[in-house]
């Protein structure tokens, strides 16, 4: 958590870090990924067997460079297969011999699904990447008896478990994370539901799924975290169910609550600060979870539900329409926004059990494939820094600096959220403090005293991401934004350049 005091006349900006003040454990799953049958995410992204450059394709048809990049990020969990796609997806179409798999019209993004990549291919890819799968259930045209959980997890002598064995996989996949639908509240959904209808269906499905496999983690479909949908489904679904849980008061049917927010603005400063709205959404949603538990008299022995922020990113659908593949070209301002997003998850680690950038490859993604290689967009670099270093515990931090006084996007931020020009989070892990400072100011750099670096600190590692202008981008021919590695002795003031992301790391 980072507290903030606006700079008063005559004051100098400061940042105070308290490494001994460990506030909440960071769940590594906040660095999760997301893959959907949309645009070039799967076909041409993860799976590219028809690429004439065979040097970058493995024996499974997977892109080796994508696999190596996901490993570089140490991605702990990947959501699949959607997204909106899942509302008409029947997993049975994507298993068994490829020559027998049907081609289907795809209604979410108005394409055709070949089903050449399905459950077993995704599970194989996850094993190679060394990440955990997270599957979303079809709450549109799907039914409870379709048997996906049985196919993935069952060890019994039953139909779908035997189908898995017939398809070449004896051992169960033991998929832990299962989403009860995706954005069922949205008018773009096939089988859009009212909050009342969704809550009833989700609760009934949850009972059956936990009876089949009580070890799984079930994730409720929320909206933004601050809507009447969120309140209603939490109130109706976060309750004690003695029958389905075998009389246990130490388990829950619902384990997590999903929320989605995308941010974007044509104004570079508003764009970079917009993710602060998600911070307020997390806080409100956490309070709604508490309210549901209080109203439903859930005993404290039942585990606290956490927030699964399983779609987040910078995305302007007008600039990068989903129907044409949503291939955003990200600017330096967008990279600053992604760093603020990640700062939010670190600061709110008490409440966030998982977060999944949407998406991991090609579609509104930091990573873009070409025929012969990869483009690491501006947004790749803050994600790399955070995923490698911002783990462990969130620590107490206080910021004193000037405030952005302009309009915000969304507008309600101005009454609910502080908007300092600097955005800060800090962690401690294995004897190292890591602190990220994002300077969204277009014109001004800040020289700041850092309280918390002691006299025994001889070396501070500095990692700086910046560029010549807010709208600079990376392309296949030129990388304009990357990470500059520097050092500092920790004495005096540290400079945070305009339009920059700076990570400081020192041992304690």
CATH code of the domain containing 432: 2.60.40.1180
Express as a percent the part of the chain with pLDDT over 70.
99
The bridge status of strand 111-113 relative to strand 104-106 is: antiparallel
> With 70 as the cut, is the pLDDT of residue 500 above it?
yes
Residue 378 and residue 424 in one domain:
no
Confidence of residue 11 (pLDDT cuts 50, 70, 90): confident
Same-domain check for residues 39 and 180:
yes
| 171 and 268 belong to one structural domain | yes
Instruction: Return the C-alpha torsion angle 269, 272, 274, 279, nearest 10.
Output: -130
The answer on 32 and 66 residing in a single domain is: yes
- Residues 491-495: contacts with CB under 8 Å, at least 24 apart: 492/449, 493/447, 493/448, 493/449, 493/450, 494/447, 494/448, 494/450, 494/460, 494/462, 495/445, 495/446, 495/447, 495/448
Question: What is the count of structural domains for the chain?
Answer: 2
pLDDT of residue 206: 96
Q: pTM of the prediction?
A: 0.96
Q: Same domain for 96 and 77?
A: yes
Are 411 and 371 contained in the same domain?
Answer: no
Confidence (pLDDT) at 10: 72
**Is the same domain home to 375 and 471?**
no
Residue 8 has pLDDT above 90, yes or no: no
> Does the structure show a pLDDT above 90 at 396?
yes
Q: Do 252 and 376 have their domain in common?
A: yes
Single residue among 361, 390, 419 that ends a domain in this structure? 390
**pLDDT tens-place string over residues 357-382:** 999 999 999 999 998 899 999 999 99
Q: Each residue of 103-112: pLDDT tens digit?
A: 999 998 989 9
Give the chain's mean pLDDT. Answer: 95
**Separation of alpha carbons 378 and 329, rounded Å:** 9
Separation between Cα atoms, residue 490 and residue 493, nearest integer Å = 8
Question: How large is the average pLDDT for residues 87-91?
Answer: 97
Q: How many CB atoms lie within 10 A of CB 143?
A: 9
The pLDDT of residue 243 is 63
Percent of the chain with pLDDT over 90: 92
Question: Domain check: are 376 and 447 in the same one?
Answer: no
Which of the two residues, 42 and 7, has the higher pLDDT score?
Answer: 42
Q: What is the mean pLDDT of residues 166-193?
A: 97
Q: Known catalytic residues?
A: 183, 311
What domain range includes position 484? 2-20+398-507
State residue 125's pLDDT score. Answer: 98
If asked whether residues 132 and 204 sit together in one domain, one would say yes
Residue 227 near residue 184 (C-beta atoms within 8 A): no
Q: What are the pLDDT digits (tens) for 185-229?
A: 999 999 999 999 999 999 999 999 999 999 999 999 999 999 999
Domain boundary among 390, 421, 455: 390
Q: What is the CATH number of the domain that holds 80?
A: 3.20.20.80
pLDDT (tens digit, 9 = 90+) per residue, 324-361? 999 999 999 999 999 999 999 999 999 999 999 999 99
* pLDDT value at 130 more than 80: yes
Three-class secondary structure of residue 268 per DSSP: helix
Mean pLDDT value across residues 399-410: 93
Q: Looking at 206-210, 217-221, 248-252, 267-271, which range is the least confident one?
A: 248-252
| 319 and 429 within one domain | no
How far apart, in whole angstroms, are the C-alpha atoms of residue 148 and residue 505? 44
Q: Does the pLDDT value for residue 244 go beyond 70?
A: no
Residue 456 is predicted with a pLDDT of 83
Residues 364 and 409 reside in one and the same domain: no
Average of per-residue pLDDT across 35-64:
96
| pLDDT band, very low/low/confident/very high, at 7 (cuts 50, 70, 90) | confident
User: Domain boundary at 322, 355, 390, which?
Assistant: 390
């Amino acid at each position: 958590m980072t507290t903030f005091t606006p700079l008063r006349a005559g004051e100098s900006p400061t940042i105070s870090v308290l490494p001994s003040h460990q506030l909440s454990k960071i769940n590594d799953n906040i660095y999760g990924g997301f893959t959907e049958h949309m645009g070039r995410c799967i076909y041409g992204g993860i799976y590219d067997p028809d690429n004439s450059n065979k040097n970058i394709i493995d024996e499974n048809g997977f892109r080796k460079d994508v696999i190596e990049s996901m490993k570089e990020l140490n991605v702990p969990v990947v959501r699949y297969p959607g997204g909106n796609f899942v509302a008409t997806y029947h997993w049975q179409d994507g298993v068994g011999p490829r020559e027998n798999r049907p081609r289907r019209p795809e209604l979410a993004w108005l394409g055709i699904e070949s089903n050449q990549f399905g459950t077993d291919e995704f599970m194989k890819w996850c094993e190679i990447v060394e990440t955990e799968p997270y599957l979303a259930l079809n709450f549109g045209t799907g039914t409870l008896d379709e048997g996906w959980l049985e196919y993935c997890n069952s060890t019994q002598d039953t139909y779908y478990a035997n189908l898995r064995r017939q398809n070449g996989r004896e051992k169960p996949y033991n998929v832990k994370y299962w989403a009860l639908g995706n954005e069922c509240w949205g008018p773009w959904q096939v089988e859009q539901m009212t909050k009342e209808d969704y809550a009833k269906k989700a609760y009934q499905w949850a009972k059956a799924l936990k009876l089949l496999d009580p070890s799984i983690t079930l994730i409720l479909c929320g909206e933004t975290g601050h809507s009447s949908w969120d309140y209603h489904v939490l109130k109706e679904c976060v309750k004690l169910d003695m029958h389905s849980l075998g009389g246990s008061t130490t388990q829950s049917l619902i384990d997590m609550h999903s929320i989605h927010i995308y941010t974007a603005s044509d104004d570079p400063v508003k764009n970079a600060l917009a993710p602060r709205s998600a911070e307020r959404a997390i806080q409100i949603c956490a309070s709604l979870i508490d309210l549901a538990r209080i109203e439903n008299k859930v005993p404290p022995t039942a585990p606290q539900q956490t927030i699964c922020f399983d779609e987040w990113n910078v995305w302007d659908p007008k600039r990068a329409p989903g129907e044409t593949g949503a291939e955003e070209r990200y600017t330096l301002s967008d990279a600053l926004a992604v760093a603020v997003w990640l700062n939010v998850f670190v600061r709110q680690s008490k409440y966030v059990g998982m977060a999944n950038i949407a998406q991991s490859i090609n579609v509104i993604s930091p990573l873009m494939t070409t025929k012969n290689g990869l483009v690491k967009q501006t947004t790749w670099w803050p994600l790399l820094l955070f995923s490698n270093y911002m783990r462990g515990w969130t620590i107490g931090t206080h910021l004193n600096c000037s405030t952005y006084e302009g309009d915000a996007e969304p507008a309600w931020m101005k009454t609910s959220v502080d908007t300092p020009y600097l955005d800060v989070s800090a962690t401690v892990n294995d004897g190292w403090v890591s602190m990220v400072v994002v300077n969204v100011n277009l014109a001004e750099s800040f020289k700041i005293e850092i309280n918390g670096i002691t006299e025994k600190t001889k070396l501070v590692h500095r990692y700086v991401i910046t560029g010549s202008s807010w709208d600079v981008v990376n392309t296949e021919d030129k990388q304009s934004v990357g990470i500059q590695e520097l050092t500092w002795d920790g004495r005096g003031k540290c400079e945070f350049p305009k339009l920059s992301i700076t990570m400081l790391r020192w041992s304690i």
